[in-house]
Structure 1
């Protein structure tokens, strides 16, 4: 019976699409049979082989995952990489100093020797993928517990990884799809010598700041450029002065021909996470319990950080990247709450689930699917309050360097104390360097304020079962954690570079494990990961039920979703340039693009979000746009498409039907913030930087024409 069901699922997956053309994040290996005809009708001029080929150069060879969390593309035969400014933000901040503030002022390398190497940055090339579903699922049966099933799957995954890693040359990732009903493996090659080539000033790369984030109309030059280096034979190599720019198998030509309403647009990238199969009860949990705690905890941390960042440029640089990450998700989660509530997404899902439950309890299906919905709903009922608690803790960990200190530096210190003298001598220089790096990223007044505030918020709002140490401190100090935190920072070895290095000279396990901040961190983390037997049992039933729900929805055809959720694997999405309804805030004739005129209208001198370089104002007044102006004379900034993307697609190239670069994806619109859970065909948009604006900024504004000359340009 189960083999028959799997065969039906396979048929459903390759049957003609029931989803809307612009909905879906598709595997490249399935483009020919699933999408190509549809894409051709919309304007694609490439063959499937030109998009994805194992044996020949193709588009996939120009797309890389950027530092594990974004996407980038190769745009020259000399390894030049284009991604978002916010994707390169951490590396740019790391390379900046108050004397050479590349975040604030921008940077353009005049020569290869001027390209700057951050300490930790890599790009990941996609080599190939293949279906491992039959092989992996042949190792499991219906009588296994979820733990036994996972162990059997992991054993087979380890074999697949070893068979395909080329003796260590490649990274192999085997990933589940459709909630563990299918498995595919992906082969990658990583390059770690990646150097900063150029970035516009922050007033351009982040124009609009938090106010405009997730909003349209936008006027943001969200891009930065790097270069990939390898050894003389083009292989990955650690940083070395004699490494040479990588010659990629394929690089994207840049089109200066612009975009029009209805033009075909496809995006290739590494979308991070969607939950289109999430049950209604899961949506309710997020909207009512998890996300409100996330929003409140994030705002607490942001406000504490910003107070000190506004007072000191050194502190601002130190916390710029962390603040940006927290702020991005803070607004995202509030937008999710609003959009999911407005669109009554849970209610819509619940209607489908009611139909599914009726189907599941038919005589032929009951043995397999009969308890699926009750197991799922029982799990969420049991964990709703805990999800609120966990999100308050999670935002503490995200905003405080000391919330997780016992598992970061603390764990390495503990291993150091247990090592023999020879091993200590070997690793001590690296440990001392780790200490130095840690204090480049923490400012104690910020950390004290953030930790005190987050502990107070957690103690007052988390509700169920506080961690034992926090509960005790809250009771003893009437919810005020300032006294404890001040004393802990005075006593802890982790708040002094000198004390930490002195510990490395005379390591002592008792000193470490009795450190007040180590004790607090261990208490918080142990509590965060602790599960009662009741929750653990419910979670096992839930995991099986969720997998069966997805399987059953596909078999029964009650779901129209034919593509797997995003999980940071390479996908293609396609759609068109598509306007939103007319907006009086946008001066454009059609509300699918924005102009330099609209950007200047937002200009506020010395404002942290809407300031602009004076040079840009002067160039605007002179209409000094060069060959990058639109045929109608204006300077384009951003444009809209209706592609289906999510986080991780930041930096993804937007391509026309010929496979030419027309833009760079960097954001979505807040009206469609529910897009990670349900696709909204009417409202969902991708916000892109027009590549003509990128080229103008490099060539005319920055005077880095030598970089433009490196590109393959069509016009």
Structure 2
């Protein structure tokens, strides 16, 4: 892997160079785009693009592509919905899905779309409220003020969500107001074999030949398709090498603004621990899949996520253990601290911030095992339902400003939507996951730890997991509703073994969470604000914030790169997809593609790469041109982009996308998806009969 150059993101200070940056919509460098590409996005253009974009579920991106609520995202983003709607007899993951009529569109059991409709800067309000405070007082006050702002923003509307977003590690705060769509229905999904063609060997690689797409539809409260006047029209020509591109999506979390102490923790402890755990989970799930075809089907989405996370984490760790790269991060921090210490006023205000963060990181090292295992160690769908019910009973009885984050009035509608999800529960998989989780808790904390004794008693992890999963009735949505509405009294009276387990461990989880929030999170947040303010004072405000899982816009162009001395062309052709077909997974094309090969135009662009700056979470983002037309669909980054969590190098970091023409060619000639085609390109008139495979 080619290592990153010294660029703005490494320094975490100077204005971004080249095509770098995941920019907020209220601080987009339009003039810089004009300087390099000759096009300056207007405010109207930015507003339209923002409103045509949507967050997909908890960790992906999507976009409206018709005036009637049709939404485009990745197949791998919608896998949860597709698998939840599947059965042993109707496996939509393996065989694909196409609703030939609106009536055939199937509602996703646990999916929500969020459209960012308004951004308000609330930095001054929060800074005024927390001025002079530290530790617990700072944490409590900040949490309370955020809850007040979010509650005032939602005004009790069930289809609105408001979140205070922390930017620049606390240097700025924005209040984001979202329109929520909770009725989302599956319209089209191809077979897994083409959506993830090449499988894990090709993941984060290029050249690629994937059709990683799914279309869903947002519905309004009246049960009719939502009207979406702000949507992306489809380009007539697609995109070619050198063309300007924009990516609007929800990148996860980057760590480009972290201090050296925080990066040292990730390098030495956080990422290695994550790698070990993901590797073990992969082994557990692989063993589970070997039990039979149904076990393989119900756990395929879990394995996909684990393998994807494992490869991504490896790339991040490789970046941080590179000595030259890390030395650059150290030098950048030393440069900033030297500038701060050279000014007496700045030194008095900011000088201790880095040391305070380092002390908080050391405190976290000492509590990591308990925090990760007691508060976050239980890996079970039913356990998290139970814990949500237990905590909701406590939190909803408190004043809004005193509740745990996530249980505030502004967040309750989303929480309730997840809690009452119709997603199927697979007891055998639940037992395997919870057994593994309990085994790891005992391994990490030790058999003599008080918490381990409290949880397991005389039982083994397997026997406890089997007992509570088989004995629980929480798969029943009516019971969940009764317990949720019944509050504390209903929870305390419940004999459900999973509720009892969640109630048993909740005091311990709350205690270690409180310690973490006060001794680690509050200290890091407060001092990160000071570091950010020092950067603003030294280098100015023309910089972008780290990604936070919220909507951002990046710009770039279609461009190849050099790897191992060889030139990598920026666009692949659909015809070459068949050259990679071996007939064996993961290079086995579905029957629908083999049957349609003679009808497909081999020269149709299939996948392409751009210099847009993205990170995990951008999956499902539209790639658009200067006319705000769809020219592609982001589904991956190349292997060099994995280090993008900590820095960006335009010479090799690449976004990987499905070409818009490949999507049209496949919908028309492989899947005969007339209804979808007509929405994307009104006036399309496919002439071939509908494919029998979907």
What do residues 141-187 of structure 1 show as CA deviations (whole Å, max 9, x unaligned)?
Answer: 2x222433444445544554455436626333222222222122222
Is 1:485 the counterpart of 2:461? The answer is yes
Secondary structure of 2:319's aligned partner: helix
- How many angstroms apart in 1 are the aligned matches of 2:555 and 2:92? 35
Distance 2:386 2:479 in 1: 18
CA contact (8 A) 1:592 1:640 kept: yes
1:23 aligns with 2:3: no
Instruction: Find 2:573's aligned residue among 550, 575, 595.
Output: 595
Is the 8 Å Cα contact of residues 25 and 563 (structure 1) preserved in structure 2?
A: yes
Contact 2:363 2:519 in 1 (8 A): no
User: 1:49 — aligned with what?
Assistant: 43
1:299 CA drift (Å): 2.2
Alpha-carbon separation, structure 1, partners of 2:452 and 2:475 = 26
Q: How does 1:299-698 map to 2 (within 5 A)?
A: 299-342=279-322, 344-362=324-342, 363-384=344-365, 386-387=367-368, 396-397=377-378, 399-401=379-381, 404=384, 407-408=387-388, 440-444=424-428, 446-460=429-443, 462=444, 467-470=449-452, 484-489=460-465, 491-492=467-468, 495=471, 497=473, 518-519=500-501, 522-523=504-505, 526=508, 530=512, 536-537=518-519, 540-557=522-539, 562-581=543-562, 591-607=569-585, 609-620=586-597, 622=598, 624-625=599-600, 629=601, 634-698=603-667
Distance change (3 Å), C-alpha of 1:525 and 1:655: farther
Gaps of 5+ in 2: 1-12, 397-415, 484-488, 685-694
> How far is 1:568 from its partner?
2.6
Cα offset for 1:110?
1.0
Matched residue, 1:425:
none
Decide whether the 8 Å contact of 1:157 with 1:174 is kept in 2: yes
Matched ranges for 1:223-238 at <5 A: 223-230=213-220, 237=221
Distance in 1, matches of 2:373 and 2:314, equals 15
Distance 2:184 2:525 in 1: 40
1:289 aligns with 2:269: yes
Q: Structure 2 vs 1, CA of residues 542 and 312 (structure 1 numbering), >3 Å: closer, same or farther?
A: same
Q: Deviations 1:226-282 (Å, cap 9, x if unpaired)?
A: 11222xxxxxx06x3xx2x23312221212424333211111112222221111121
How many residues end up aligned between the 2 structures? 644
TM-score (norm 2): 0.82
What is the CA–CA distance in structure 2 between the aligned matches of 1:502 and 1:640, rounded to whole Å? 49
In structure 2, the CA distance between the partners of 1:360 and 1:606, relative to structure 1 (3 Å rule), is same
Stretches of structure 1 lacking an aligned partner (at least 5 in a row): 1-15, 231-236, 417-430, 478-482
Compute the displacement of 1:85 (Å). Answer: 0.5
Contact 1:268 1:653 in 2 (8 A): yes
Name 2:690's counterpart in structure 1.
none
Give the drift of 1:200. Answer: 0.4
* SS of residue in 2 equivalent to 1:189: strand
Within-5 A mapping of 1:191-270: 191-230=181-220, 237=221, 240=223, 243=224, 245-270=225-250
Q: 1:409/1:167 Cα in 2 relative to 1: closer, same or farther (>3 Å)?
A: closer
Counterparts of 2:518 and 2:449 in 1: how far apart (Å)? Answer: 18
**Equivalent-residue separation in structure 1 for 2:58 and 2:351 (angstroms):** 40
Could you say if the C-alpha distance between residues 450 and 270 of structure 1 is closer, same or farther in structure 2, counting changes exceeding 3 Å? Answer: closer
Partners of 2:304 and 2:283 lie apart in 1 by 12
What SS does structure 2 have at the residue aligned with 1:543?
Answer: helix
Helix, strand or coil for the counterpart of 1:130?
strand
Query: In terms of mean alpha carbon deviation, does 195-204 or 247-256 score higher?
Result: 247-256
Deviation at 1:663, TM superposition (A): 0.5
TM-superposed CA distance for 1:22, in Å, is: 1.1
Compute the displacement of 1:495 (Å).
Answer: 3.7
1:145 alignment counterpart? 134
Question: How big is the shift at 1:339?
Answer: 2.2
Using a 3 Å threshold, how does the CA distance of structure 1 residues 407 and 714 change in structure 2: closer, same or farther?
A: same
CA radius of gyration, larger in: 1
CA distance in 1, matches of 2:559, 2:323: 21
Distance 2:466 2:103 in 1: 45
Distance in 2 between residues matched to 1:186 and 1:499, nearest whole Å: 33
Contact kept, 8 Å, 1:298 with 1:395, in 2: the verdict is: no
Inter-partner Cα distance in structure 1 for 2:151 and 2:390: 32
**TM-score, normalised on structure 1?**
0.80
Q: 1:330 to 1:396 in 2, by over 3 A?
A: farther
Query: Mean alpha-carbon deviation: is it higher for 342-351 or for 567-576?
Result: 342-351
Q: Closer, same or farther in 2 for the Cα pair 1:697/1:519, shift >3 Å?
A: same
Residue 447 to residue 75, structure 1, CA distance change in 2 (3 Å): closer
8 Å CA contact 2:390–2:503 kept in 1: the answer is no
> Deviations 1:396-415 (Å, cap 9, x if unpaired)?
53x44466575146668999
CA distance in 2, matches of 1:134, 1:509: 41
Cα distance in 2 for partners of 1:25, 1:329 equals 21
CA RMSD in angstroms, aligned pairs only: 3.9
CA distance in 1, matches of 2:173, 2:472: 48
1:22-69, Cα deviation, whole Å (9 max, x unpaired) = 1111122333xxx2222234446564133234xxxx222211112232
- Structure 2 partner of 1:423: none
Q: CA offsets per residue over residues 393-438 of structure 1, 9 Å max, x none?
A: 78853x444665751466689999xxxxxxxxxxxxxx9x989968
Give distance in 2, aligned partners of 1:650 and 1:386.
33
- Worse-matched range after superposition: 535-544 or 591-600: 535-544
CA contact (8 A) 1:76 1:251 kept: yes
Q: 1:184 to 1:44 in 2, by over 3 A?
A: farther
- Structure 1 residue 190 displacement after superposition: 1.3
The CA distance in 2 between the partners of 1:708 and 1:499, in whole Å, is 38
Separation of aligned partners in 1, 2:86 and 2:144: 45
SS in 2 for 1:222: coil
